[in-house]
């Protein structure tokens, strides 16, 4: 299922551990780099300096926000096709977990 011709995402290319995960497994966010999260926004910037400025501003805003703790429990595991941002675009398989 892995596309060996897929390029490493630009946001992950400069991060050694993300790069290592991508080269080994085809994704920068698997196994030792996996961290459950909610994606707030994925955007393509044509200008790298604008992208860096945006990332810095968003990082500052996120760091200053007092996030409430959220308790979650997984009910399914799913696989899907992803775009260049790693966002699922089409589900392939969904497996319900026992309760």
Tell whether 2 is covered by a domain.
Answer: no
Using the predicted structure, report yes or no on whether residue 93 has a pLDDT greater than 90: yes
Tell whether 95 is covered by a domain.
Answer: no
Tell whether 91 is covered by a domain.
Answer: no
Residues in the chain: 99
The 10s digit of each residue's pLDDT in 14-55 is 899 999 999 988 888 888 777 777 776 777 888 889 988 988
Tell whether 59 is covered by a domain.
Answer: yes
Tell whether 82 is covered by a domain.
Answer: no
Decide: helix, strand or coil at residue 78: strand
Domain with 26 in it: 10-70
Tell whether 41 is covered by a domain.
Answer: yes
Domain count, the chain: 1
């Amino acid at each position: 299922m892995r596309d060996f011709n897929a390029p490493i995402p630009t946001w992950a290319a400069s991060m050694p551990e993300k790069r290592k995960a991508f080269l080994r497994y085809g994704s920068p966010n698997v196994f030792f780099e996996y961290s459950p999260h909610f994606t707030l926004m994925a955007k393509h910037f044509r200008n790298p300096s604008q992208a860096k400025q945006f990332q810095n501003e968003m990082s500052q805003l996120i760091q200053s926000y007092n996030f409430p703790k959220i308790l979650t429990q997984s009910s399914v595991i799913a696989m899907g096709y992803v775009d260049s941002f790693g966002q699922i675009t089409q589900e392939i398989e969904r497996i319900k977990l026992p309760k």
